[in-house]
Amino acid sequence: MFKLLSNENMKIYRRLRTWILLGIILLATVLVAVVIRTHEQENPNWKQTLIAQNADLQQSLQHDQQLPPESRQHMQSTIQMNQYYIDHNLNPTRMTGWKFATTAESLSALLIAFIVVVAGDIVASEFSTGTIKMLLTQTATRTQILLSKYVAALLHALFMTAAMLVFSLLCGWIVFGMAGAGEPQFFTDGQGHMHQMPVAGYLFMHYGFLFIEVIFTATIAFMVSAIFRSSTLAITLSVLAFFVGNTLVAALSRYSWVKYILFANTDLSRYVEGGPPVAGMTLGFSIIMLIIYFVVMNLLAWYIFTKRDVALT
Amino acid sequence: MPQQAAVQIRHLTKAIGKKTIVDDLSFDIPEGEVFGFLGPNGAGKTTTIRMMVGLITKTRGKVFVYGTDVDKDFRAAMNRVGAIVENPELYKFLTGYQNLKHFARMSTGVGEERIREVVKLVGLEQRIHDKVKTYSLGMRQRLGLAQALLRKPDVLILDEPTNGLDPAGIRELRDHLRTLAKRDGVAVIVSSHLLSEMELMCDRVAIIQSGKLVDVRTIRNGLGADEDTEQTTEIQVDDGEAAVAVIRADHAGVSAQLQESAVVVSVTRDKVPEIVRSLVVAGIKIYAVNSVNKSLEDTFLEITGGGSIGV
Ligand SMILES: Nc1ncnc2c1ncn2[C@@H]1O[C@H](COP(=O)(O)OP(=O)(O)OP(=O)(O)O)[C@@H](O)[C@H]1O
Ligand SMILES: [Mg+2]
């Protein structure tokens, strides 16, 4: 089994494409850093600005009695946050390497698209080149071959995600400095309460959640690849599913059935920040949904891959 | 059973929709034999091979490799089998060596040494570290063969192995397959639609037409020729009529006919030198002595119907 895995790894990493995709991600990260650096405007009077803003907010809170409670809460949170910056003499407009890395995480759409290219191709390409005949007439069973390919695809996804994290940190440190790992990152939860955690922790937490999304999108691509044996279909379908799925969930969030859609559950970070897409969803529910989807998708891929004829090419 | 067959095929059938592509094939292939599937395009040779190696399911029937049912214990059965199905498709972005390494990893007990051995065997030493995308068809065919030989298979299945090989390559392959069969007792199964090729390479040939087994024939003029059965021999001479007269006079019971400028006789192998000697003694000039297997050729041509594809 380990030998099969090293075969699959060899086939991924000996291909130029794999490195080109990684290169594009790294390039995009550098580009984001350059753009931020050149457009960065540090406000030297940031403290006065914050003090003035807080005074404004206090005014509104006291005089405007018609304010909805959510707005009130939000304003109070902002005041707290500003006060923290003022008290600790922390300039919120100053970019740090760590903050940059959290900003660069917005390149994750690109990352997911590229991971899907490899995951969606790993089974299908054997069919399109005809090498599947050679692969399946050795002594390994189809189950072993499919499993080794799936593990290789997930390892590649992990490699790409880790590479993006490491590289955006390196990039951030070089351009904006290494300091500031312990600076607080403020965020509001589903109920509108403000929380804070060190920016480094926040970054790693987000990458953890991102990896869950990556696993599921890669699994969709892998499944389509194993079932339809077409990389084009696998890549298009899963990228489409990822974007359309997420948009659809956002657009239809007033319907409660939306919570059964996979993409309503893949972004677990929303239980920490921003709240779930459909009211009343819980973390436990999402985890159960994810497990169900995971099992069903893999069973489907396995069943069809092991049973179907390898027809004439 | 006197001697266990290397491969047993029983009632092998493949139907897709209403069409039966392979229809109830049954035969045995003993160890040490080079066995041919002969049939026109679309006869079902590749389909049969695909079923044998588990690439497609069998509608009916079974395939045993040394008594192991391929469907029941795929790994054990395939451990004794090396195969190329249709063209040898390999990873183009890897070198020949990396390809072999890839397939060696999928087999137990195939080390670097064995890889070097097969590379030498198929004559690819010069190019083995080049990317496969730079290979010619014949070189890919050789690499495919190297892959099939990695595990030292007891059963070697090759679908149209001579496709793309140059004459020297075909000859090498033929000699090599015969050596494997005779020296190592490997059961070799090759498919082809070329009779001439099969005659030179095989001990026995199964003729397949539209998925049905038409005939299984022993090739009589090969290395494994049968000493006791008569074979047709064609003798090119300067004076055919005189030659026929000489043969009829000297060898009673031998049928000799004149066909164009050649005399055709039907005799056992050991009789051939005697006939030649009497012709020489009678002063007839002999230009060539060929043994032909007319009956096989006739059967095959009848089936293929002058080259049209049987559906
Ligand atoms: N997936 C399929 N669906 C329907 N018919 C098929 C399928 N695969 C093969 N056939 C048909 O089965 C028949 C046998 O095909 P096969 O490839 O086994 O022939 P072959 O003897 O190998 O021919 P060739 O000498 O051209 O290689 C052909 O008539 C082909 O059209
Ligand atoms: Mg064929």
The pLDDT of residue A302 is above 60: yes
The pLDDT of residue A312 is above 80: no
Q: Using the beta-carbon criterion (under 8 Å), do A4 and B105 form an inter-chain contact?
A: yes
Q: Do A154 and A218 touch, CB atoms closer than 8 A? A: yes
The pLDDT of residue A280 is above 90: no
Token reading at B176: 């090599």
Range of the domain at B194: 5-218
Q: Using the beta-carbon criterion (under 8 Å), do B92 and A136 form an inter-chain contact?
A: no
* pLDDT for position A67: 77
User: What's the whole-number mean pLDDT along residues B228-247?
Assistant: 82
Residue B15: strand pairing partners: B20
Domain holding B242: CATH number?
3.30.70.100
Distance (angstroms) between ligand 2 centre and the Cα of B215 equals 19
* pLDDT for position A11: 93
The pLDDT of residue A19 is above 90: yes
Residues 6 or more apart whose CB falls under 8 angstroms from that of B113 comprise none
- Tell me: do B239 and B115 sit in the same domain: no
Residue B243 domain-assigned (yes or no): yes
CA dihedral A42, A46, A52, A54 (to 10 degrees): 100
Give the number of the atom of ligand 1 that is nearest the alpha carbon of residue B50. Answer: 18
Using the 3D structure, point to which of B192, B218, B244 is the last residue of a domain: B218
Q: How confident is the model at residue A212 (pLDDT cuts 50, 70, 90)?
A: very high
Give the whole-angstrom CA distance, residue B292 versus residue B297: 9
* pLDDT for position B150: 92
* pLDDT for position B1: 37
B120 in contact with chain A, both atoms CB, cutoff 8 A: no
Q: Using the beta-carbon criterion (under 8 Å), do A16 and B93 form an inter-chain contact?
A: yes
The residue that leads in pLDDT, B140 or B224, is B140
Count Cβ neighbours within 10 Å for each residue of B112-143 and write b for 16 or more, e otherwise: eebbeebbeebebeebbeebbeebeebbbbbb
Residue B286 domain-assigned (yes or no): yes
Q: How confident is the model at residue A281 (pLDDT cuts 50, 70, 90)?
A: confident
**Chain B: closest CA distance from residue A109 (Å):** 28
- Tell me: do B20 and B109 sit in the same domain: yes
* pLDDT for position A176: 84
**Which uninterrupted H or E stretch holds A304?**
helix A283-307
Span A39-66, pLDDT tens digits: 877 777 888 888 888 888 888 878 877 8
**Which uninterrupted H or E stretch holds A289?**
helix A283-307
Mutate to test the pocket of ligand 1, among A309, A312, A313 (most ligand atoms within 8 A of CB): A312
Per-chain mean pLDDT for chain A: 88
B107 in contact with chain A, both atoms CB, cutoff 8 A: yes
- Tell me: do B70 and B124 sit in the same domain: yes
Residue B64 domain-assigned (yes or no): yes
For chain B, percent of residues with pLDDT exceeding 90: 33
Q: Using the beta-carbon criterion (under 8 Å), do A138 and B55 form an inter-chain contact?
A: no
Least confident of A192-196, B81-85, B307-311: B307-311
Burial class (CB in 10 A: 0-12, 13-18, 19+), B253: exposed
The pLDDT of residue A7 is above 70: yes
Write the DSSP assignment of B180-249 as a string of letters: HHHHH--EEEEEES-HHHHHHH-SEEEEEETTEEEEEEE-SSSTT--SSS-EEEEEEES-HHHHHHHHHH
Give the number of the atom of ligand 1 that is nearest the alpha carbon of residue B48. Answer: 18
Q: Do B124 and B142 touch, CB atoms closer than 8 A? A: yes
- Tell me: do B130 and B42 sit in the same domain: yes
Domain holding B74: CATH number?
3.40.50.300
Domain residue ranges of chain A, discontinuous segments joined by +: 2-39+97-312, 41-94
Write the DSSP assignment of B171-187 as a string of letters: HHHHHHHHHHHHHH--E
Using the 3D structure, point to which of B218, B242, B274 is the last residue of a domain: B218
The pLDDT of residue A118 is above 90: yes
Token reading at A262: 């996979």
- Tell me: do B187 and B279 sit in the same domain: no
The pLDDT of residue A114 is above 80: yes
B19 in contact with chain A, both atoms CB, cutoff 8 A: no
Could you report the predicted ipTM of this complex, rounded to two decimals?
0.81
Q: Do B61 and B67 touch, CB atoms closer than 8 A? A: no
- Tell me: do B210 and B249 sit in the same domain: no
Distance (angstroms) between ligand 1 centre and the Cα of B81 equals 23
B53 in contact with chain A, both atoms CB, cutoff 8 A: yes
User: What's the whole-number mean pLDDT along residues B39-55?
Assistant: 90
Give the number of other CB atoms < 10 A from CB of residue A110.
15
For residue A313, the ligand closest to its alpha carbon is: 1
Q: Using the beta-carbon criterion (under 8 Å), do A130 and B78 form an inter-chain contact?
A: no
Mutate to test the pocket of ligand 1, among B13, B46, B213 (most ligand atoms within 8 A of CB): B46
- Tell me: do B135 and B253 sit in the same domain: no
The pLDDT of residue A113 is above 50: yes
For chain B, percent of residues with pLDDT exceeding 70: 89
Q: How confident is the model at residue A196 (pLDDT cuts 50, 70, 90)?
A: confident
Span B194-207, pLDDT tens digits: 888 888 888 899 98
- Tell me: do B194 and B112 sit in the same domain: yes
How many domains is chain B partitioned into structurally? 2
Contacts of A19 in chain B (CB under 8 A): none
* pLDDT for position B308: 46
User: Left (φ > 0), alpha (ψ -120 to 50) or beta: where does B278 sit?
Assistant: alpha
- Tell me: do B177 and B244 sit in the same domain: no
Contacts of A10 in chain B (CB under 8 A): 94, 98, 102
Top mean pLDDT of A173-187, A269-283, B41-55 is at B41-55
Q: Do B149 and B177 touch, CB atoms closer than 8 A? A: no
Per-chain mean pLDDT for chain B: 85
Mutate to test the pocket of ligand 1, among B20, B21, B38, B209 (most ligand atoms within 8 A of CB): B21
Give the whole-angstrom CA distance, residue A30 versus residue A76: 37
B110 in contact with chain A, both atoms CB, cutoff 8 A: no
Residue B297 domain-assigned (yes or no): no
Distance (angstroms) between ligand 2 centre and the Cα of B191 equals 8
* pLDDT for position B311: 41
The pLDDT of residue A192 is above 80: no
Fill in the DSSP letter of residue B133: G
B8 in contact with chain A, both atoms CB, cutoff 8 A: no
How far are the Cα atoms of A81, A202, A209, A313, B33 from residue A195, in angstroms, in the given order? 9, 11, 18, 58, 79
Residue B304 domain-assigned (yes or no): no
* pLDDT for position A250: 85
Residues at Cβ < 5 Å from ligand 2 ion: B 46
For residue B45, the ligand closest to its alpha carbon is: 1
User: What's the whole-number mean pLDDT along residues B251-260?
Assistant: 81
The pLDDT of residue B83 is above 90: yes
- Tell me: do B207 and B237 sit in the same domain: no
Span A234-279, pLDDT tens digits: 889 888 888 888 888 888 888 888 889 888 888 888 888 888 888 8
Ligand 1 neighbours by CB, cut-off 6 Å: A 311-312; B 16, 21, 39, 41-47, 193, 311
* pLDDT for position B228: 61
